Amino acid sequence: MQPMIVLEDVDKWYGKNFQVLKSCSLTVSPGEVVVICGPSGSGKSTLIKCVNGLEPVQGGHISVKDMEVTGPRTKLPKLRSHVGMVFQHFDLFPHMTVTENICIGQTRVLGRTQAEAEAKAAALLERVGMSDHARKYPIQLSGGQQQRIAIARALAMDPIAMLFDEPTSALDPEMITEVLDVMVELAKEGMTMMVVTHEMGFARKVADRVVFMDGGEVVEDTPKDEFFASPKSQRAVEFLSKILDH
């Protein structure tokens, strides 16, 4: 089967001296859910932002389905319209209502009519349990609600894969579940997902593989059961003991 996301020997530097990503390689097959974890500063957020070209890379190559991400002639806007992304701080458009947030990409990028876009938005709001909030502005919503809207905004583009960059890290504990529930459901429906997260419960439940990063390197890339039962590297053992023992 043709892989959905391929990263090959990706190198990235900030400035001349600091290398954030060191020859990172990983492959995500269609329908697969891959969780990326690791200590802060390990480069995992940077790595996921490279997949849709939000961060440029200096070496290696990246492709999504049959589209090259790296390379001079890539039409990044076109590629990004096929890949959904959810951010740590939600980044909803504050000057637009919930419905407008979900419609803007559909109408301006995909060229759907306003009516089509609004129908899609209504269906997605229903799905993430936010139908009552369609006309509100982001400022009127809690963090968990905003993140569910952000997921709906990404799904509205009918993405072939979804990228999640620490989607629950900025949330109060009681709101994490409502976001994870939506993500679990999405995973079960067969969405291809790359998820940077510390939520090991989520990883246990739906991940196919866990990628462990440290110091800009992919240290481990293993099926989830193996990762939790017997991590190969000492660094992963230490990391797991820190985030699981409390």
Partner 1 sequence: MKGWNWDGFFEYLTNTYILEGAAVTLGLTIAAMTLGVVAGCVVALMRMSPFRILSNIAYFYTWLIRGTPLLVQLIIIYTGLPQIGIKFSVLEATLIGLVMNEAAYLSEIIRSGISSVPKGQSNAARAVGMTDVQMMRYIIAPQAARIIIPPLGNSVNGCLKTTSIASIISMEELLRRTQVLIQEKFMVLELFVVAALYYLLMTTAWDLIQRRIERHFGRGYDIKADAAEQR
Residues that bind partner 1 (CB under 8 A): 49, 52, 54, 76-85, 87, 89, 91-97, 104-105, 108-110, 135-140, 150, 153-154, 157
- H/E stretch holding 196 reads strand 193-196
Shortest reach from residue 106's CB to partner 1, in Å: 9
Shortest reach from residue 71's CB to partner 1, in Å: 17
Is 44 exposed, middle or buried, given 0-12, 13-18 or 19+ CB atoms closer than 10 A? Answer: buried
Shortest reach from residue 8's CB to partner 1, in Å: 23
CB nearer to partner 1: pick between 52 and 70: 52
CA proximity to 182, closest of 211, 208, 144: 144
User: Do residues 133 and 141 lie in contact, with contact meaning Cβ atoms separated by under 8 Å?
Assistant: yes
CB atoms within 10 A of CB 72: 5
Which two three-digit tokens encode residue 217?
A: 């390197």
Shortest reach from residue 80's CB to partner 1, in Å: 5
CB nearer to partner 1: pick between 14 and 93: 93
Contacts of residue 178, Cβ cutoff 8 Å, sequence gap at least 6: 129, 144, 145, 148
CB nearer to partner 1: pick between 4 and 83: 83
Q: Please give the angle made by the CA atoms of 171, 172 and 178, to the nearest 5 degrees.
A: 70
How far apart (Å, rounded) are the C-alpha atoms in residues 147 and 154?
A: 11
Shortest reach from residue 137's CB to partner 1, in Å: 4
**For 86, what's the count of Cα atoms within 13 Å in the CB-facing half-sphere?**
32
CB nearer to partner 1: pick between 54 and 184: 54
Contacts of residue 222, Cβ cutoff 8 Å, sequence gap at least 6: 209, 210, 231, 232
Shortest reach from residue 42's CB to partner 1, in Å: 20
